[in-house]
Amino acid sequence: MSTATGRPRARSRAPMALERGRRDIRRLLARLGAFWRSLDQPVVGRRVPGSAVVGLTGLMLSLVAALLAYRTGSNTWYADSLSHLTIARRIFDSQAPGFQQLGTVWLPLPHLLLIPFVANLWMWSSGVGASLLGAGCAAATATAVYRIAARLGFGRAGRLVAVLVLWTNVSYLYICTTALTEPVLIAAFACTIAGLVHWATAARPMSGGELAVFAGLPAMVAMLSRYEGWVLVVSMVVYIAAVEYRRMGGRTQHPWRFIALHRILPALAAPAFGVLCPFVGVGWWLAYNYAIYHDPLEFMTGPYSALRQQADDIARGIVTTKGNLGISLTVYDWSLWEILGGVVVVAGALGFLLLFFTEGLSIRVLTLGLAFSTYVFMVASLYLGQTVIWNDHSMPPSLWNVRFAVSPIVFFALGTAAFVDRLGGWLRRTPRSAGAPGRRLLAAGPAVVVALALLAQFGWWARDPGTRSPVVAEGHLSLVLRPTKVIDYLRRHYDGGHILMNESAPRNAIIPLVGLPNRDYWDVSTGAGYDAALKSPTTHATWIVVNTSLHTDYPDPVYLYMRQHRELFANYDIVAKDGSEVLYHLDRWTP
């Protein structure tokens, strides 16, 4: 009975299910079509269609990059990356935990942001925690760039090409897998510009509080991440004043008085909230430096500051960019070319020029100008000798700090979007004889060509990133210099006891790779404990890691102390050696 009644039912259900399936597919296609069309719509109000999809895609791509980097171990190649990991963890895991562990060599925020990601020992020592933070930054950057492009009125092609610039850049994706500070800076930088563009293009004037949150807070993050952020804030004030001026512009008989009283002053007053946040951040940083080191400018002038470290190089005459604008431009532009790729540099620059010559000082041009501020900062920094970059075109040629050329990626992404949008717009209008479909096809042409070129460029890099991407290559150079044997020995043979070392000395940035908690170390960051360990090593440390090279700018203080007080270290035996790096172990049978 059940079979007899069941079969006809099954037969009648099949076409219904099929029809339902078709209906679902049609509905899905219709929704996808509506979504696709929404990406081309001008942005009105707060929502920018496609933001979530872009953010999720950016996150997924960065996670894939993180996985690849983890499998090759390249996410921990950079010595600076290892130092950042160490600093972040020692805030809570150290013989002397606390916020003073932030130190002053680097700005503090990336380390603070890293804390939850390095709380787990494995995530810290493998660098995976940093990769996760980097993935978040990459997602935020992609979303912000997309929203900027959308709010600036670029069409779908421009918006998508802008994010494609990020997603096809091997150097940028790689850097997001590391604990370096650039991903945080770039994300904060892009978010600041996104907030400012929202403010500049909003139909209803945004309040000071909103400006503070949407632009001021990310600017504060940028400011407390890298010094490029400080220039960003100055540029931000100029941008706000310029936009206010344009917005209110020229309806008076006394323009100068009018500009001064009714444009510039209100323009500077209105965003006071917006620029307050970054200055609060700076105030905190100065207070911190004063509280810990009794000098608010310790980060600038202290022994570990970039200024002090570069002083020797300058004295030796190997910072050839200092005082020479031509070399500074050549060195930096070459890094840009290598890192961002020819397609992006050419299309981005052309896009900006196209906008400038067709629109003058429009909101778009001002925004791209704001994004250009990192480029100006880096070139000025090279020229003033504050920053050193060594690449194929520097003297001496080498690989050092080439990753500084990643920062202007936001400018070039937006410039490329402008290029595609403007060119597509012209092609859509000009040949009327081509008919509507033909014009649409022509309009899509620049986007398709640029997208294919970006993918080709990505493929070229991806085939041999260790050689073709200078950023990855520089990381690989750090790997070559790494005292791997010492690390491996310590990791495998550690049987308890503390380790005495100075992590700041050359080749000593290895702590995460050993995989032991920070509290097992007597490092210079532990202050009085470190001094006590030096004076009485046998009661404090079972292991000592030193760099025995004396031919460096900064010889290892522990090794220097050992040389001066040999009697204190007589009971230590060398158990591992990797070049100049030596690992000592306390003789167990010492009375």
Partner 1 sequence: MNENAVHRRIGDILLDAGLVTQEQIDAAVQRQRREGGLLGKHLILSGAVSRRDMYRALAEQWDVPLVDLLSQPSNANDYLLSVDPRRFADAGWVPWRIHDGTLTIATSVAPTQEVLDQALSLPGVEAVDVRATTDWDVLRTVQNAGRERLLYRITDQMADTTPEASARSGVIRWQRMVPVAFLLLILAAYVVDPPVAVVVTFCIVNVLFVVNIVFKVLAGLRAPYRLRQKRRWRKAVVAERARRGAPAAWPRRIPDDELPVYTILVPVYDEAEVVPKVIANLDQLDYPKSKLDVMILLEENDTRTIEAAKATRPPEYVRIVVVPEGHPQTKPRACNYGLEFARGDYVVIFDAEDRPHPDQLRRAIDAFEMNRLMRKYVDPDTPRLVCVQASLMYFNAEYNLLTRMFAIEYAHWFDAMLPGLDDSGLPLPLGGTSNHFETRTLRALGAWDPYNVTEDADLGLRIASQGFAVGTIETATEEEACSAVSAWIRQRTRWIKGYMITASVNTRHLGRWYRSNGIGGLITMACLVLGTPLAFLSYPFSLLFTVLTYVGVKTGGLHFPPGALQAGVIMMVAGNTAMILSSAVAAWLRYNWRVAMFAFLNPVYWLLHSVAAWRAAYQLVVDPFTWEKTPHGLTADYESTHELRGYPPMP
Residues that bind partner 1 (CB under 8 A): 45-47, 98-100, 204, 206-207, 209-210, 212-213, 284, 287-288, 291-292
Would you say 207 or 301 has its CB closer to partner 1?
A: 207
d(CA 484, CA 539): 27
Q: Which two tokens stand for residue 15?
A: 């076409």
Task: Return the amino acid letter for 73.
Answer: G
Residues 285-303, buried b or exposed e (16+ Cβ, 10 A)? beebbeebeeeeebbeebe
Would you say 95 or 381 has its CB closer to partner 1?
A: 95
CB of 115 to partner 1, least distance (A): 14
Q: Which two tokens stand for residue 303?
A: 């022994």
CB of 126 to partner 1, least distance (A): 29
Per-residue DSSP letters for 429-479?
HS-GGGHHHHHHHHHHHHHHHHHHHHHHHHHHHHHSHHHH-HHHHHHHHHH
d(CA 113, CA 90): 13
Would you say 35 or 99 has its CB closer to partner 1?
A: 99
Would you say 88 or 546 has its CB closer to partner 1?
A: 88
Would you say 100 or 538 has its CB closer to partner 1?
A: 100
Would you say 35 or 284 has its CB closer to partner 1?
A: 284
Question: Which CA distances in Å does 282 have to 223, 232, 297?
Answer: 7, 13, 11
Residue owning tokens 């293009």: 201
Closest by CA position to 196, among listed 107, 110, 277, 112 = 277
The number of beta carbons lying within 10 Å of the beta carbon of residue 377 is 24
Would you say 143 or 328 has its CB closer to partner 1?
A: 143
d(CA 24, CA 16): 12
d(CA 81, CA 131): 11
Task: Return the amino acid letter for 129.
Answer: G
CB of 1 to partner 1, least distance (A): 32
CB of 359 to partner 1, least distance (A): 29
Q: Which two tokens stand for residue 446?
A: 């620049």
CB of 100 to partner 1, least distance (A): 5
Strands lying side by side in the sheet with 543-547: 521-522, 499-500, 543-547, 581-586, 572-578
Query: Three-state DSSP class for 500?
Result: strand
CB of 195 to partner 1, least distance (A): 12
Residue owning tokens 């308890």: 496
CB of 287 to partner 1, least distance (A): 5
Would you say 46 or 251 has its CB closer to partner 1?
A: 46
Would you say 293 or 426 has its CB closer to partner 1?
A: 293
CB of 283 to partner 1, least distance (A): 9
